[in-house]
């Protein structure tokens, strides 16, 4: 594996900023991926979505495994960072063997790792390989869910290119993740002359969020984060509308069902206020399974052949591997570079782990 070449490609990917929802930027990057996968011997296509196109690529198998069931790799090309982040608070830089910049860790490093591994096994016997690169993973993959379900049919195993655990361990299960939007409609009125005629949507939303916290407190192993609040307009007008996006994490489907049932049934506190709750995206809990344990053992054996020790552990964060794990497919995640700072301004990846992870992915392709 050629680390300088990998770093050059990673820099070019990072400098091509791709915020979630920026369809022109994401589509331009998707074109780059389609071209790159064709260079590596695959057949790739863009799959249209209003908020940015996804990419699906198929690489033929070779030798005795050419007709075997494919392995699937899941990745994404959107990031949480807006255009301009690179020129502002997060410039590309390499210091003491650590790469800094928006998306180096989550997860353009994973894209470069996969490309390098595919190039490394071009002359080796291996199964067919399918790749799905999602454009809206950072908001729960609402437009990619059915695509992932369809393209994962018939695969022998699924590998995610998300970041690993801090010590490099792979991820063997994930909590479920659901994002909801609470929308409140009230009634506007003059805040001083006629406040009694108004119904404050903001006050109602605040009370709804307190009620949500009380629901969450009744259950173990539930995470809840109020990510966005908007509403109202002027301080002399009773707010007529307000909304909030709330993210939940669940350890199991039963808890998820109970919490969502309670939250969606919360009544309005104020007479005349209208409260609506909509599920914006959902990733079911991917729970531990013998199939994943068996896959981890095979990956550990592949790693041992190249002098790498591979471990695995459960993860709280969610990703597209939630879906394949939930579907019962043997699934592992965390084949991206080792680093830290996902979704934070100190996002970084250890440069040397780019080649290490690419070597591991290549070993997986040759042996699984």
Tell me the catalytic residues.
78, 137
Asked if 176 and 256 touch (Cβ cutoff 8 Å), the reply is: yes
Q: What are phi and psi of 321, to 5 degrees?
A: -65, -20
Cα–Cα dist 171/106, whole Å? 15
Cα–Cα dist 78/257, whole Å? 29
Torsion on CA atoms 337, 77, 227, 326, rounded to nearest 10? -80
Beta-sheet strands, E only, within the chain: 43-47, 54-59, 71-76, 93-95, 98-100, 129-134, 157-160, 170-174, 176-185, 222-231, 241-250, 274-283, 312-315, 331-332, 339-340, 348-350
Beta-sheet strands, E only, within 43-169: 43-47, 54-59, 71-76, 93-95, 98-100, 129-134, 157-160
Residues 6+ apart with CB under 8 A from 233: 239
Burial (CB count <10 Å: 0-12, 13-18, 19+), residue 274: middle
Residues 6+ apart with CB under 8 A from 163: 105, 106, 107, 109, 110, 334, 336, 337, 338, 339, 342
Q: How many residues in total does the chain contain?
A: 368
């Amino acid at each position: 594996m050629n680390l300088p070449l990998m770093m050059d490609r990673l820099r070019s990917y990072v400098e091509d900023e791709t915020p979630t929802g920026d369809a022109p930027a994401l589509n331009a990057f998707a074109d780059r991926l389609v071209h790159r996968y064709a260079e590596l011997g695959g057949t790739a296509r863009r799959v249209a979505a209003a908020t940015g196109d996804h990419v699906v690529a198929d690489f033929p198998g070779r030798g005795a495994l050419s007709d075997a069931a494919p392995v699937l790799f899941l990745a994404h090309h959107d990031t949480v960072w807006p255009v301009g982040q690179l020129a502002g608070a997060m410039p590309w830089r390499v210091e003491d063997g650590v790469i800094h910049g928006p998306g180096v860790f989550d997860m353009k490093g994973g894209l470069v790792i996969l490309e390098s591994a595919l190039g490394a096994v071009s002359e080796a016997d291996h199964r067919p390989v399918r790749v799905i690169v999602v454009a809206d993973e950072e908001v729960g993959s609402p437009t990619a869910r059915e695509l992932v379900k369809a393209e994962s049919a018939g695969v022998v195993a699924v590998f995610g290119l998300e970041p690993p655990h801090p010590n490099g361990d792979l991820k063997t299960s994930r909590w479920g993740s659901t994002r909801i939007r609470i929308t409140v409609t009230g009634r506007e009125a003059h805040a001083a002359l006629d406040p009694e005629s108004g119904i404050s949507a903001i006050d109602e939303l605040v009370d709804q969020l307190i009620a949500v916290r009380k629901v969450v407190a009744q259950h173990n192993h539930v995470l809840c984060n109020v990510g966005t609040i908007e509403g109202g307009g002027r301080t002399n007008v009773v707010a007529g509308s307000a909304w909030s996006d709330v993210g939940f994490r669940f350890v199991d489907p039963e808890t998820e069902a109970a919490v969502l049932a309670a939250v969606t049934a919360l009544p309005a506190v104020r007479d005349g206020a209208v409260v609506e709750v909509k599920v914006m995206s959902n990733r079911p809990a991917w729970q531990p399974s013998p199939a994943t344990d068996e896959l981890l053992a095979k990956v550990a054996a592949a790693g041992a052949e190249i002098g790498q020790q591979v471990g695995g552990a459960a993860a709280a964060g969610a990703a597209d591997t939630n879906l394949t794990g939930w579907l019962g497919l043997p699934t592992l995640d965390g084949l991206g570079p080792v680093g830290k700072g996902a979704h934070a301004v100190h996002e970084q990846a250890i440069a040397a782990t780019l080649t290490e992870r690419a070597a591991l992915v290549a070993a997986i392709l040759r042996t699984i």
